[in-house]
Structures are given as C-alpha cells and as structure tokens.
Amino acid sequence: MTKRNKDGVALTVLRYDPRKGGDPYYQTFTVTATKDTTVLDALFRILETQDYSLAFRYSCRSAVCGSCAMFINGRHRLACSTLISQVGREIIVHPLPHLPIIKDLVVDLTLFFEKYEVVKPYVVPTRPLPGKEWIQSPKERSRINDSTDCIMCAACYSSCPSVWTGKKYLGPAALLWAYRFAADSRDGVLRDRLGVLGLEDGLWRCHTIFNCTEACPKSLNPARFIESLKRTATKETLKARIPFLS
Amino acid sequence: MFQHDVIIVGGGLAGLRAAIESSALVDTAVVSRVHPLRSHTKAAQGGINAALGNAEAGRDDSPDKHAFDTVKGSDFLADQDAVELMTRMGPECIFELEHWGCPFSRTDDGKIAQRPFGGAGFPRTCYGADRTGLYLLQTVYEQSVKRKIKQYQEYFVTSLIVDEGLCRGVIALNIKTGEFVPIVAKATILATGGASWIYSISTNSMINTGSGMTLAYRAGVPLKDMEFIQFHPTGLYPSGLLITEGARGEGGYLINNKGERFMERYAPKAMELAPRDIVSRSIQKEIDEGRAFENACVHLDLRHLGRDKIMTRLPGIRELCLLFVGIDPIDKPIPIRPAAHYTMGGIDCNANCETPLKGLYAAGECSCISVHGANRLGGNSLLECVVYGKVAGQQASKFAKSVPDRTDERLIESSLEREQKRVEGFQKGNGAEEPAALRDEVRLILTQKVGMFRSGPDLEAALDQIRRLRRRFSQLRPIDLDRVFNLDLIRTFEVESMLELAEIITASALARKESRGAHVRLDFPQRDDENFLKHTLAHHTPTGPRLDYSDVKITRYQPEARKY
C-alpha cells in the first residue's frame, strides 16, 4: 500500500505496455493536489516526476478537444475538467472501457472513427448552391442544436452495452452525427441516410439504455437524437408503403 | 517510407483547408501529431470575420473597411497587399464553409449571424454561438473525410528533408509505434499552429509549443516578427483558459475592485471593444496599480446580459466557468486576467504562402504573411486560416505538379540516419537536467520579463537566463527511446523548440526599440516609424539568432496615430 500524507492523493492507474505484454495491472502513485488540480494535472505530475513511461492523450485542457476521456472513479469523464477535489482523495483511472488499449490510458479509436465515416458525416446538398449562404431560419437551425456540439471523445461509445455486445453496431456518437446531418435543412439525402441507418447494425440496435447520455461529458443526449431518427425512419417507411400518407 | 505529392503538417483549420484544396489536384496527405479533431482550432470561440453586412448595424461594411480596420489594428505593421487579399476573399470563403454545412448561428431572416468584435467598425464576426472553432474544424474535417484525404494521425514531425535548396518532405516519429519514418513530398505545407504555450499564463492548448516553427527555422527559413505576442484580455483566472471576446462583443463589462468600468480611462470611445493589445494592457495596469481582486484579476461582468442571451450566445464559456471555477456567469462576474494567446509572428512567407525555401509553404498561426502585424484583431485568425489555407493548398499543389518525379533514396536514408543519431543523443544524455524543469523555468521567464510591458534591462536579463537554460538542455538526463506513445521523448523535442523560440522572441524584442501594437517597451514608449516600420527576421545560426529586417508593404493606408 502506498502511504499518503495529508495533502496527498492516491491515484491508481491501470497500466499496460504492449512491449512488455502480459495483463494490465494497477499501479498507485501519490500526488499532491490543491483545490484547482485536475486529474490531467496529476497525470502530468506523475509523468514528469515519478514515471516517465506513463501514456495518456491530451491537448486543449479546456474540455473541448476530446482527447482525454477516461473512466475515473466509476464514471466517464474528461481528465482535464475533473477536479481532484470533486472526486475524492482516492482516485482510480482506467482507459475508456471496452476499447483496445494501445498503452496505459491510450485506447485505439480506429473503429470508432470508421463507424463515424459510415454515416456520411457531411451535408449533401441536392439543390443548386446559392450565390451567398443558404437561408436557414433560426427555427431550422435549432433542429440541429446540441447535435453539432459533440467533441468525439468516445465516452458514449465506450459506455454503450449495445456496442460491447455488437462489435459492428455504429454506436451513439456516429448516430448522433447521423441525426445532425439528416436534420440539417441544407441536406437533401434523407432517404439514402435512412437506408444505411436501417441496416442490421444501425439505429435499431439502440435499446435506449441511456448510458450514452449519462456518460457524455458535454451533457449531450445522444439517445434523444437516436430516438428522433427512429421516429423519422418509421414515418418514412410508412409513407413509402402507404401512398396516401405521403 | 511514405510518398505523396503534397504533405501538410498540421490538421487544424489551415491544414485541413489546404488539404481540401490540394487534394483536388494532386495526391495529398495530412500529418498531425494528434487526431485532427484535437487541434487547437477547436478551442476558438468567438468567431470569424468577413464583411458580409448581415447585421442591421453592418449594412455599410465592405472588404475595404475590413482591410483598414485590420491594418490599423496591426499598428501598420501588416503587409497591406496580404490584408486586402484576405478581406476580399473573406466572404466567398465563409459562404464556402456554410455550403459545406458549417452550423453558424443565424439572423432572424436566416443569414449567417454576425457580432461586434474589438477594433472593428461594424458587427463583422460570423459565429456559431461561442463554439465557432469547433464548428469550423468539424466542417473541414468532414470535407476531408468526404474526399478521403490520407491522414497520418499521431505522427510528430521532427525535421524537414532538404536537398539543394528544395524541401522534399519530413521525418516524423510515429507516436503509436515509436519509429521514425520519412514522409516524402514534392511540396510541404507547415500549418502547425502557434507557440503561446511557451508562456506560463496562456489560453492555448498544451500542444501549442511552436515546434513547427522551429522545423522551418532550423532548415534556414527566417522567423518573422516573433516579438509580437498577443495577450488575450480575458483569460480565466487562474488557469488562463479562454473566455471569448464575444463576451464583450455581446455587451460584457470589465470592472475593477472599485466597481468602475475602467476602460473609460483607456479607450473612452471603444470601451471594452478596443483592440486586444489595448484592453490587455489596461487590465494589467489596473492590476499593477492595486485595483484588482485578490491582487490578481479583474471581473468580466455578464450579469446584465440576462440568462437568455448567455444561454444562447455564450453557453460554452458558461460551461467553462462552471467546470473550472464553479461560477455561473448568470449570477456572478467572471475573474479574468490577460493570458498569452497568439503568435502574430511566425515562419516568413509571402502572400502566396511561399517561404524562402523552395517547396516549403506555411499557413495559419505558424506563418507570418503578415496579415496581423503588431496586433491581431479578434476573428481574423480563423479567417486567415481559411483564406491562406486555401491559397497554400493551391500554390503547393501547383508547384508539386511542376516538379519532376524524383526520389533520391540516398538523401532520404541520410536524413533519417541524421535524425536517429540526434535522438540517440537524447538517449545517451549523461547529465541530470529535467526537460520539464527547463520548460517550467522558460515559461516563467517569458511571462515575467517578456510580457505585456517590456524593458531593455529585463529583456537582457531574460536573454541571459534563456541562454543558460539552452546550455543546460545539453546536459539532460537520458531519455528512453524504446517506447510506444513516448510522451517523455515528444516533450523533450518540445522543450528544445521552446527554448529556441524563447531566445528568438526575446532577442527580437530587445532589438525593437519602439512600442508598437502588442510590443511595448517602457524605455521606448513611442512608435518609431522612421526606424522600425519594418519586419524583424530572425535567422538560424549555431550561436543563436541573427537579426535583420525587411520592408512592410504599404498600398493604401499610410501610418497614422492609433486611437480608439
């Protein structure tokens, strides 16, 4: 057991080094912390004073770049915006669960980004481009509110039981983006989008468990967007089958 | 070995915009030390300038007026041909982003919304709430996905491959494997961002260490106007995190501990919306003269804007305040102080983004074209990234098409070997110096002695200290090389760059014996157009930077006194 003094915090990290192989293991470090110290700050202190080999991702330290999502004391959080004073004096940091570990707290997000690409993550206009901007009313703009604010940290993806059990399932982040483009007044390919989303590993694998919503460090609600897509998909299918509805 | 026609180092707004342009013509790849969506562009908040005239009060705006505001804001150090090109191309570049799906906020009649920003005569700053950077970066990233542009993610470039005055690509560390690899190209664009993390109080991402600038510098390209560092007036206290200028654009007040809107004393007309250099110095003066809270910060008060406006226009900064200082700006003022924010200077290049090294281009914050001169206006950096990212992509791809297919295997081999030898030097270090300690020291020296108010003696002392730190860098403890995701090694490369840049910034500041824009010398308080209406150029030599100067391009706007 690592001893800690009165200002000390015991920070346990799940370690894994592919060069060494073997199973991941826990290692506990003692770090000092003030009221402003974040978990990311503490990881840097460990890196620079105790273990030069510790690996983790970082960039903006202002909760927007999406690099440092981790599983901290049983919750998905961004290390940069998690104050140690909020989580207690004993802290356990895991890499994002259910993802392949590259090293320590760094996980492989290749599949996560590939699934994002499946949903055609860009606006596809079908009308001729205007000379200036498209006119989009504030009401039309508000339909995509929040769905534009995802920072692609993969917390929701890592938290979703349907992802754990269905490796091909697109997952909450990709579906949030699918909603964002389908709901944009400038996009013209809703039917094509729903075609992809209606496949076996699309929308309908979401079982509205809401882990994604709980995990999102930006307080977004991916489940709501997925539900909205399901309603749209149902309506469009009915319209196609029952002519007088359209 | 990898090979492409054009490679772009950096996956932020300028880099991806360049890649979109270049990939239409030639085989193009983006090399980035982080996943492109982790780039610093994402942290930009307030907006991007273009004379669209969408706001009621902006009907009479024009690219010319935008150009004049930019030149005046630059304290007449910007190159006016480059500024005019930028402001003229502004509207079309914004419309292009909008057509790609960028989710701008809207006016009631459905156009792109624009807000007032500092130093601008009209509401000219297009925005998406206070997440404009996130939306812009996401938009160009989406387009790079659509175009299937090859990306080398988590590759840290450590040197350029140069052959007989021609840049032939880069050597990069593949962070995920720990191996060094050559990435060969006919043209290379550096879009590596700024260097403001080298100050201890900074708004920047931790990856903004300026290591891209030193790549060019060591290859013989001068760094221009490096003494001009912008301090953003409103860094959150104490972390320095950015609180957007949009907060003042929407009507926020700056208040000292006497309850005064102190900008009345410094810029009675423009008040809180004076340009950044002026507002930052005013805040620092209030702090220095004892009118600060906790002797360290003043307040940015948004309470009178009301809940609705804060929730719709400034939700991101409300979130930052709640997360990092536990304050809700709806109920309480925000503690702020100036923080290093932007490097106006950078890699010397012209309005075609060409550097003096053939085949090497630069765009975005790492470059100095120069459109910002001695002080950048808020909202102009994102515009520069978009406009000059596009220009760089066009120019580099055109150049790549004109270069014959020729790969000199021996050259690449020897470049790789040289790099490996350099790194082995780190491994064989026989000293005990900690790179992190040197970094912390240099960041403090810059904040204390090369900050908003400078003087000859301070700068000389700083230069001396920085040179001592550089000598200590040659006595590092051994750095282990045999690692995947080797943060220790990457951060050692960064410290090397930071020390080099610190020396350049300080030497350039010491030589500029005048006050202009963001560079203020207490011992030379006036602007001196006769001697210093010129760009500083710092050239690499083994013993430190050698300085000379180049002319400023003046087209239409003659220097005049700068009043707001």
Dump pLDDT digits (tens) for B256-275. 999 999 999 999 999 999 99
B112: which DSSP letter?
B
List C-alpha distances in Å: A31 to A52, A175, B467: 15, 39, 32
B196: which DSSP letter?
G
Percent of chain B with pLDDT over 70: 100
Contacts of A66 (CB under 8 A, 6+ apart): A78, A151, A152, A153, A154, B37, B38, B42
What pTM does this model have?
0.97
* Residue-wise pLDDT tens digits, B470-518: 999 999 999 998 789 999 999 999 999 999 999 999 999 999 999 999 9
Domain with CATH 3.10.20.30 in chain A: 9-107
Residue in B38, B106, B135 closest to A66 by CB: B38
Residues from chain A contacting residue B131 (CB–CB below 8 Å):
64, 148-149
> What average pLDDT does the segment B389-416 reach?
93
Percent of chain B with pLDDT over 90: 97
Which of A37, A43, A123 best tests the B interface by mutation, with the highest count of B CBs <10 A?
A123
Q: Does B40 touch chain A (CB under 8 A)?
A: yes
> What average pLDDT does the segment B230-249 reach?
96
Domain with CATH 1.10.1060.10 in chain A: 110-245
List C-alpha distances in Å: B468 to B438, B441, B442, B501, B538: 10, 11, 10, 14, 20
Q: Catalytic residue among B33, B232, B372, B562, which?
A: B232
Cβ pair B28, B22 in contact under 8 A: yes
* pLDDT at A5 (0 to 100): 54
* pLDDT at A2 (0 to 100): 45
B430 — pLDDT class (breaks 50, 70, 90): confident
pLDDT in tens, chain A (246 residues): 444 456 689 999 999 999 898 999 999 999 999 989 999 999 999 999 999 999 999 999 999 999 999 999 999 999 999 999 999 999 999 999 999 999 999 999 999 999 999 999 999 999 999 999 999 999 999 999 999 999 999 999 999 999 999 999 999 999 999 999 999 999 999 999 999 999 999 999 999 999 999 999 999 999 999 999 999 999 998 988 887 766
Nearest residue in chain B measured CA to CA from A121: B142
B205 — pLDDT class (breaks 50, 70, 90): very high
Residue B177 has pLDDT above 50, yes or no: yes
Residue B429 has pLDDT above 90, yes or no: no
What is the enclosing helix (H) or strand (E) of A224? helix A222-241
Residue B406 has pLDDT above 70, yes or no: yes
* pLDDT at B84 (0 to 100): 98
Cβ pair B529, B54 in contact under 8 A: no
Contacts of A8 (CB under 8 A, 6+ apart): A30, A31, A32, A33, A89
**Mean pLDDT, chain B, integer:** 97
Fold of the CATH domain A110-245: Fumarate Reductase Iron-sulfur Protein; Chain B, domain 2 (1.10.1060)
SS3 A172: helix
> What average pLDDT does the segment B26-35 reach?
98
The arrangement of secondary structure in A9-107, i.e. its CATH architecture, is Roll (3.10)
B42, A151: Cβ pair inside 8 Å? yes
SS3 B150: strand
Task: For residue B322, give both structure tokens.
Answer: 């709640």
Residue in A52, A125, A136 closest to B488 by CB: A52
List C-alpha distances in Å: B246 to B273, B315, B437, B481: 10, 11, 36, 45
For residue A140, give how far its alpha carbon lies from the nearest alpha carbon of chain B (Å).
9
